[in-house]
Amino acid sequence: MVTGTGTGVGKTIVTSAIAALAKADGRRVAVLKAAQAGLNEDGTGDVDTVRRLAGDVTTRELVRYIDPLAPETAARRSGMPTIGPADIALAASRLDEEHDTVIVEGAGGLLVRFDSNGSTIADAAWAMGVPVLVVAQAGLGTLNATALTAEALLRRGIESLGVVVGSWPDEPDLAARCNLEDLPVAAGAPLLGALPQGAGTLDPQRFLEVARAGLSPWFGGDFDPEQFAMTYKSS
- The domain that holds 68 is classified in CATH as 3.40.50.300
pLDDT reading at 101 higher than 90: yes
Q: In what order do the strands lie in the sheet with 191-196?
A: 58-61, 29-33, 101-109, 2-4, 132-136, 160-168, 191-196
Q: What's the mean pLDDT when you consider all of the chain?
A: 94
Task: Respond yes or no: is residue 233 known to be catalytic.
Answer: no
Overall domain count for the chain: 1
State mean pLDDT over 162-180: 95
What length does the chain have? 235
| Cα angle 212-215-219, degrees, rounded to a multiple of 5 | 90
> How far apart (Å, rounded) are the C-alpha atoms in residues 92 and 126?
13
> What is the share, in percent, of the chain residues with pLDDT greater than 90?
91
Q: Detail the residues annotated as belonging to a binding site for Mg(2+).
A: 12, 46, 105
Which pLDDT band holds residue 98 (cuts at 50, 70, 90)? very high
Q: Detail the residues annotated as belonging to a binding site.
A: 8-13, 46, 105-108, 166-167, 196-198
DSSP character for 165? E
Q: Detail the residues annotated as belonging to a binding site for ATP.
A: 8-13, 46, 105-108, 166-167, 196-198
| Residues sharing a CB contact under 8 Å with residue 88, sequence separation 6 or more, in sequence order | 32, 34, 62, 104, 121, 124, 127, 128
Chain-centre distance for alpha carbon 226: 22
Which pLDDT band holds residue 39 (cuts at 50, 70, 90)? confident
Question: What pLDDT is recorded for position 108?
Answer: 87
Enclosing domain of residue 114: 2-231
Question: What pLDDT is recorded for position 235?
Answer: 47
Q: Helix axis angle, 204-214 relative to 11-24, nearest 10°?
A: 100
> How far apart (Å, rounded) are the C-alpha atoms in residues 65 and 75?
7
User: What secondary structure does DSSP assign to 21-63, as a single string?
Assistant: HHHHTT--EEEEES-EES--TTS--HHHHHHHHH-S-EEEES-
State mean pLDDT over 83-98: 95
pLDDT reading at 234 higher than 50: yes
pTM above 0.75, yes or no: yes
Helix H segments across 98-201? 121-128, 142-155, 174-187
| C-beta of residue 115 within 8 angstroms of C-beta of residue 72 | yes
Catalytic residue among 17, 21, 33, 37: 33
Determine which helix (DSSP H) or strand (DSSP E) holds 3, and give its type and residue range: strand 2-4
